[in-house]
Amino acid sequence: MSSRLIFTFILLLCLLSSSFSSASLQNSTAGRFETLRPQKETQKLKLIRKHLQKINKPAVKTIQSSDGDTIDCVPSHHQPAFDHPLLHGQRPMDPPEMPKGYSQVNESHEDFQLWSLTGESCPEGTIPIRRTTEQDMLRASSVRRYGRKIRRVRRDSSSNGHEHAVGYVSGSQYYGAKASINVWTPRVSSQYEFSLSQIWVIAGSFADDLNTIEAGWQVSPELYGDTNPRFFTYWTSDAYQATGCYNLLCSGFVQTNNRIAIGAAISPVSSYKGGQFDISLLIWKDPKHGHWWLQFGSGTLVGYWPVSLFTHLREHGNMVQFGGEIVNTRPGGSHTSTQMGSGHFAGEGFGKASYFRNLQMVDWDNTLIPISNLRVLADHPNCYDIRGGVNRVWGNYFYYGGPGKNLKCP
């Protein structure tokens, strides 16, 4: 796949999301100068409460996290995934066959979230789900689109708000990907911006039939109400139009783990010139049943995206991307100061710049192999950049990120 096509995909991601940011900003501005009529406000709250009843399932146990999150322990067969018409009545699958060549040595531990530091956990047969609140939904630009990326695809490039620094491979058949992702707390300048670092597994054309599977960490004040880095997942089978969502905010992803809450805050995090922390994520296609599984750290299965959710990803991916993404709403007419990664450029290196290391892919034979021919691309290199490399310990790796607004990025 040509570099021009890669750039087209990145541009599409920008365009897909830009109207989301603009709409959110417009809504926030309107909220400051216009008081909703009581009737209209009541209707919105009714919609919100109806939606909350749908996604917040009855819990057998509740855990309070120090960051304010409420974690509900929900019976695994009652989780939101099984509201999907293609999954209704099913139960979680048994663990899949692991990729050949997988090693559990020196991987991150599963107790990496703030809520788990309470010492409490969810009972066997349940899964931990971060409870969605009225406040969460009131921050969203649309109740109907809550937890989803924007729907309308625009072809112009005059106001794209999303910027990337990524490493990628394409031109082959990909059955999974693995990486260790350095975790930071980048500054996010506006409620309607975010900063994330993730893995994408991609298939289909860059139009209405785009399929993606995504996992990583993100700082998103609009979605979560704070600036903590949080573990997240995403999926779509129609270019973010009507399918898919973050985490468990719609039916689709099936969680099988009772110790990890998708959408919960990550702890510890890295510090500049200090301790470094990363999370290891593996996504791969089970050769027996075809589902796309997600694993965290040292052999901890999180769950899977059922193959029936997808069209092109029913077979394999045709591109894998690793890297960072931010939203730039251009506050005051200048570039945002929202940071990517650590907020420092790639050239600063270890302990200062954020990294992805040990990049691998899963081939047709369910074998985990080092990535070859990794390419790197930053679409706004004066704001956020990327530098790749290879060594014996980290294999394929790259540093990436930046501060956003600076003298060369006005």
- Residues catalogued as catalytic: 214, 325
C-alpha pair distances (Å), 86 with each of 90, 95, 103, 125, 212: 9, 20, 34, 22, 18
Contact 258, 128 (CB under 8 A): yes
Host H or E run for residue 279 = strand 278-285
CA distance 92 to 77: 7
C-alpha pair distances (Å), 159 with each of 21, 50, 323: 10, 34, 22
CA atoms within 13 A on the CB side of 82: 15
Reduced to 3 states (helix: H, G, I; strand: E, B; else coil), residue 147 is coil
Contact 129, 74 (CB under 8 A): yes
CA distance 359 to 320: 10
CA Rg value for the chain: 20
CA distance 256 to 89: 16
Strands 300-305 and 292-296: antiparallel
CA distance 84 to 387: 41
Contact 80, 90 (CB under 8 A): no
Q: Greatest CA separation found in the chain?
A: 64
Task: Classify residue 159 as exposed, middle or buried by CB count within 10 Å of its CB (0-12, 13-18, 19+).
Answer: middle
CA distance 260 to 300: 9
Rounded to a whole number, what is the distance in angstroms from the first to the last CA of the chain?
33
| Residue appearing with tokens 């996504």 | 283
- Closest by CA to 358, choosing from 306, 396, 319, is 396
Single-letter code of the amino acid located at 260: I
CA distance 384 to 391: 23
